[in-house]
């Protein structure tokens, strides 16, 4: 399907959409960046306590059993979810070609989300955590979080409903799927764990399924959907193979809901459940490879733009991390490797590859694209963007490689503990924890500048410009570039 004509009325419509979304989108992006800084700081503390247990040992709120789940909670729900909300509401309005009529409702939902999240993180640090990964917040925090999400979802579905007849882009497929899947697995998991008194083993199984669904049924489709918009949009080229994009979507929808239970391998549950979960997790490599290769082939059609565009640099590397995530799913969930790495830090490395490597890099690329358009201001510093990119990529690669390799060494040591002390196996992870701490420190510096840069843009302190990412005039990253800021340029639509 051809793109809409870049008429003067289209330009005015896009400007109206961007103005209507400035406050809610910037709220989610800026508060998410603030939570990211908090998550990184807590990550430094939790990582340091692995190799230096006496660090902050005089403060009971800073014990490893509290600070580590607080770190994950701030990263997932503070940064990840809010970055996703900002991308969803902006892209849904842009592709539906309708201005936002209820910005106040979205802002209220955002404030409720942040208030409930703050109480939840404080509850974890105070000792009220549940001990379930990614479900650590006390039970009282989940209801307001779900209600805030429902408000955002209803608004997004209304925007989708009022779109022009016949315009349904593959990006909208992914976003709508994420919007629908989230309340399903979020509500089901918390109802089964907190609403009914059952066996702890059953709760652990639900938690394992929720953990997998949160990463692969929410963050993955939001990230892929955003990438399907950004790459054709900035390059001005059509998606390499539209049929592949549909294959990637449906394979994700069919395969991923079965994953998660592989984490309970060896427990007294029906034996087929862990193997079914492992098989589904392995098959996640299919939608990851299809989406990653399809979009990277699209970006490869204009390598000069990729090299110049901050948006595309982050997005392309996010897709590279997506391919790595699919490969890690294939390797880590194979029976031979799972036996060695099941009780190691491999799970943490896999999570960071998905959340910070794949999803966050695409979110950064989206932020560098969206923020100048809704603020009508130029990014203040090319140097800050470059520092953010290079420090982030090296630090994330260090965390992922160190944790996965360290997990392998830790697992091998655990397999040989029959003739040595368990302490010897546990101590093998210490040097890798030191390197992880250093990498988190670099990420803290990088994201401090990112947060300050983003806050200054919200305050609209940058100068008005037609090339907001500090590129030459007429470059595709400009809102007046050669593709004319046409939504999803060259991307076929599904009717």
Confidence category of residue 106, pLDDT binned at 50, 70, 90: very high
| Confidence check: pLDDT of 3 > 70 | no
| Confidence check: pLDDT of 493 > 60 | no
The helix or strand, by DSSP H or E, that contains position 219, with its residue range, turns out to be none
Q: How many CB atoms lie within 10 A of CB 198?
A: 12
| Confidence check: pLDDT of 423 > 60 | yes
Question: What pLDDT, on the 0 to 100 scale, is given for residue 414?
Answer: 79
Confidence category of residue 270, pLDDT binned at 50, 70, 90: confident
| Confidence check: pLDDT of 119 > 80 | yes
Question: What pLDDT, on the 0 to 100 scale, is given for residue 478?
Answer: 42
Cα separation of 16 and 103, whole Å?
Answer: 13
pLDDT (tens digit per residue) in 157-167? 888 888 877 66
213 backbone φψ class: left, alpha, beta (φ>0; ψ -120 to 50): alpha
Question: What pLDDT, on the 0 to 100 scale, is given for residue 213?
Answer: 97
> How confident is the model over 83-111, as a mean pLDDT?
91
CA atoms lying within 13 Å on the CB side of residue 378: 15
303-335 b/e (C-beta count within 10 Å ≥ 16 → b): eebbebbbbbbbbbbbbbbbbbbbebbbbbbee
Cα separation of 466 and 475, whole Å?
Answer: 10
The SS3 assignment for 274 reads: helix
Confidence category of residue 58, pLDDT binned at 50, 70, 90: confident
Confidence category of residue 468, pLDDT binned at 50, 70, 90: low
> How confident is the model over 280-293, as a mean pLDDT?
96
Indicate the burial class of 161 (C-beta count within 10 angstroms; 0-12, 13-18, 19 or more).
exposed
Instruction: List CB contacts of 16: < 8 A, sequence separation 6 or more.
Output: 99
Give the CATH fold of the 13-458 domain. Cytochrome C Oxidase; Chain A (1.20.210)
Instruction: Decide: 341 and 332 in contact? Cβ < 8 Å.
Output: yes
Kindly list the domain boundaries of the chain, sorted by start residue: 13-458
Q: Which range has the top average pLDDT, 17-26, 63-72, 449-458? A: 63-72
Cα separation of 465 and 453, whole Å?
Answer: 16
């Amino acid at each position: 399907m051809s793109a809409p004509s870049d008429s003067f009325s289209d330009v005015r419509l896009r400007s109206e959409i961007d103005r209507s979304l400035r406050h809610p989108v910037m709220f989610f992006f800026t508060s998410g960046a603030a939570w990211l800084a908090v998550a990184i700081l807590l990550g430094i503390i939790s990582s340091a306590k692995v190799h230096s247990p006496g660090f902050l040992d005089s403060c009971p709120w800073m014990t490893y059993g509290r600070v580590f789940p607080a770190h994950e909670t701030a990263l997932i729900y503070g940064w990840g979810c809010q970055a996703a909300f900002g991308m969803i509401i902006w892209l849904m309005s842009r592709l539906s070609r309708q201005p936002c009529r209820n910005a106040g409702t979205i802002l209220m939902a955002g404030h409720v989300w942040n208030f409930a999240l703050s109480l939840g993180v404080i509850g974890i640090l105070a000792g009220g955590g549940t001990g379930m990964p990614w479900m650590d917040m006390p039970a009282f925090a989940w209801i307001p979080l779900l209600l805030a999400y429902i408000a955002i979802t209803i608004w997004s579905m209304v925007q989708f409903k009022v779109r022009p007849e016949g315009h349904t882009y593959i990006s909208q497929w992914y976003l709508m799927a994420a919007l629908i899947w989230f309340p399903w697995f979020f509500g089901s998991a918390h109802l089964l764990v907190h609403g009914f008194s059952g066996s702890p083993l059953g709760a652990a199984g639900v938690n394992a399924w929720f953990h997998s669904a949160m990463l692969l049924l929410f963050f993955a489709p939001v990230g892929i959907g955003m990438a399907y918009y950004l790459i054709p949009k900035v390059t001005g080229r059509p998606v390499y193979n539209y049929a592949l994009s549909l294959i990637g979507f449906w394979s994700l929808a069919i395969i991923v809901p079965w994953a998660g239970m592989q984490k309970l391998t060896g427990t007294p549950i029906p034996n087929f459940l862990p193997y079914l979960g492992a098989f589904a997790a392995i098959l996640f490599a299919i939608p990851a490879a299809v989406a990653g290769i399809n979009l990277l082939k699209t970006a490869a059609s204009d390598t000069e733009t990729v090299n110049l565009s901050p948006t595309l640099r982050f997005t392309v590397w996010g897709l590279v991390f997506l391919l790595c995530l699919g490969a890690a799913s294939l390797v880590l969930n194979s029976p031979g490797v799972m036996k060695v790495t099941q009780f190691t830090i491999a799970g943490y490395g896999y999570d960071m590859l998905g959340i910070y490597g794949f999803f966050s890099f695409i979110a950064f690329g989206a932020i560098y694209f969206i923020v100048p358009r809704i603020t009508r201001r130029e990014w203040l510093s090319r140097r800050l963007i470059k520092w953010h990119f290079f420090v982030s990529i090296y630090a994330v690669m260090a965390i992922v490689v160190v944790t996965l390799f360290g997990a392998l060494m830790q697992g091998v040591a655990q397999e040989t503990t029959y003739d040595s002390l368990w302490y010897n196996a546990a101590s093998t992870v210490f040097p890798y924890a030191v390197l992880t701490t250093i990498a988190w420190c670099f990420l803290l510096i990088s994201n401090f500048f990112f947060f300050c840069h983003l806050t200054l843009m919200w305050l609209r302190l940058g100068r008005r410009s037609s090339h907001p990412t500090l590129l030459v005039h007429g470059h595709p990253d400009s809102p007046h570039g050669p593709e004319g800021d046409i939504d999803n340029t060259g991307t076929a639509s599904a009717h």
